[in-house]
Structure 1
Amino acid sequence: MERWRATNGSANGNFSGRSPREEITMLVVLAFATILLWHSPYGGYLLYPFTILSTWFHEMGHGLAAMAFGNDFERLVIFANGSGYALHVGEVEPSRISSAAIAAAGLLGPTAAGCALILSSQTRRATTAALAVLGIVLLASTLIWVRSLTGWVVLPAVGAACLWLAFRGAQNHRKFAVQFLGVQGCISIYRDFDYLFSADGMLDGRPQISDTGHIAQALFLPYWFWGGVITAIIASMVYWSLRRAHSR
């Protein structure tokens, strides 16, 4: 990937004008600001579209992984409270490995998307492409898989905003948007940290087995062990993407 090396304003330059250290500092500040907003009285309302986006990343992770193992991804449902599910069916009983991998893909999906967005923020072309691809995929997935009012309202709006930024937004606004969306994906696991280390969870007010619970059922070791493994993988992904994105 071509990186920005020249001075601000050059075709190959860092169009934000910030050093790698300043870039990382800004991302950390965005992460902490988001966490503080989550705990503020009205922060959840301000971040609501990004909560729904994180759920979309999570459920798309499940659905796409299911497709990779030969299952049919039938629909994606997102509820108003931010919970959701991806319904997938297969003709044969899934193997233990495929069941565990599909469950893990939902947990890793938001971070994988967030890291990809942060990495894309290092060139103008990649930044524009990332916003355009995200916008198109949001709109297409809504038409193909989403089957809930919350998804129909929020996801196309976010997708349209990404496309507008990609083709009409200022360059520094595009970069900030990609990095902000990337941070939301990377830290979304913070909202679900209890879920990550729980055998059970709630879906639209109904109890269900958690993703780590499904992994434990498939691979025998306890859910808290797999919660630790997923946490370590997420931390490694974020660390690697930050080093990669801001290395010289």
Structure 2
Amino acid sequence: MPALNDTSTTLNLFLAARDFQERVTPNPTQRTTLIVAGCYIVVIAILWHVPILSWIIYPFKLLTVGFHEMSHAFAGVLTCARIHAIELDPDEGGVTKMSGGISWITLPAGYIGSCFIGACLIACGFNTNASKIASIVLAVFFLFTLWWARKDWLTWVLILGMAGLIVLFWFVAGGVALRYLVLFIGVMSCMYALWDIVDDTIARKVNTSDASAFAKICGCFPSQVWGVIWLLIAFVFFGLGVIVGLVAFKETSEEQKEDASKFLPVPGSSGAFSTTPNSMVGLAMIFSGWLLM
């Protein structure tokens, strides 16, 4: 009997492994998404280190800094902290001013949280409808961030600009452009988080970094060790974002197009109200007004 049970367990493990392999094997649509994501990584890496061209991705760098600070703030809220303000710096820095909360949760939340957000966006970038939902969730996060950063003009300009970009891409090719925008923001957020961890904690020690403050509180490891731990966690999130996208969204591009036409459809498409340039401008104004409330 024990031998029979061992054989059954081995068979179940084999079948589970085979099923998982089939699920993570990309179909043609997913393969295209992976290629685009790979191109994003290469392009971002190049633009990152070319002084003049780096301005092309500058707004997205600030957005990822916003994700970092927003993660601090939400971790603070979850640990009963009082959030006083979020401020972004034109030099790609930021600060979340809070009192109270649990420091050993709020401090690593910036790096890990921004990478988690990026991983979620990468997963959603495999599907048009998922990208629409992700955009709505981002809009809610933007509202909270605008409230916390209501005195910081740079945050307002950044978020309103990104909101306008999301609205614009929603109308292009039935939402396909939005999918690739969400994918780009996700890749950018993960890459920035990974680079930020390496730059602040491993390559050089920044005494004012979250890792340094965390090391002072815990005392058991130096900031570089915590940086390595957070880096590994960030890599896991990055990988999980891709895996979830491959497993959860197996629809072909044609199937996604059909589904997208029925879920929050683009004006003028099947099942949607007719569109004119004025209606598009009106929707953009309504969306911007919603953010300004």
Shorter-chain TM range is 0.7 to 0.9
Counterpart of 1:244 in structure 2 is 244
Bigger Rg over Cα: 2
- The answer on whether the counterparts of 2:131 and 2:179 sit within 8 Å (CA) in structure 1 is yes
Residue identity over aligned pairs, in percent, reads 21
Quick one: which of 123, 139, 142 aligns to 1:135?
139
1:59-78 alignment to 2 at 5 Å? 59-78=69-88
1:131-210 alignment to 2 at 5 Å? 131-166=135-170, 168-170=171-173, 171-192=175-196, 193-197=198-202, 198-201=204-207, 209-210=208-209
Counterpart of 1:13 in structure 2 is none
Counterpart of 1:39 in structure 2 is 49
Quick one: which of 5, 13, 36 aligns to 1:26?
36
Runs of 5+ consecutive residues of structure 2 not aligned to the other structure: 1-26, 251-293
The AA in structure 1 aligned to 2:172 is: G
- The answer on whether the counterparts of 2:194 and 2:231 sit within 8 Å (CA) in structure 1 is no
CA distance in 2, matches of 1:70, 1:199: 30
Q: Structure 1 residue 28: deviation in Å? A: 1.7
**Greater mean alpha carbon deviation, residues 61-70 or residues 127-136:** 127-136
3-state SS of paired residue (1:246): helix
- The answer on whether the counterparts of 1:24 and 1:246 sit within 8 Å (CA) in structure 2 is no
Specify whether residues 107 and 114 from structure 1 end up closer, same or farther in structure 2 by C-alpha distance, changes over 3 A only.
same
Name the TM-score, length of structure 1 as normaliser: 0.81
CA distance in 2, matches of 1:146, 1:112: 25
Aligned length: 218
1:91-106 alignment to 2 at 5 Å? 98-106=102-110
CA distance in 1, matches of 2:37, 2:45: 12
Counterpart of 2:62 in structure 1 is 52
CA distance in 2, matches of 1:19, 1:196: 38
Counterpart of 1:205 in structure 2 is none
The AA in structure 1 aligned to 2:111 is: L
Name the TM-score, length of structure 2 as normaliser: 0.69
Q: Deviations over 1:214-234 (max 9, x none)?
A: 111121111111000000001
The AA in structure 2 aligned to 1:123 is: N
3-state SS of paired residue (1:78): strand
Structure number having the greater helix percentage: 2
The AA in structure 2 aligned to 1:227 is: G
Counterpart of 2:123 in structure 1 is 119
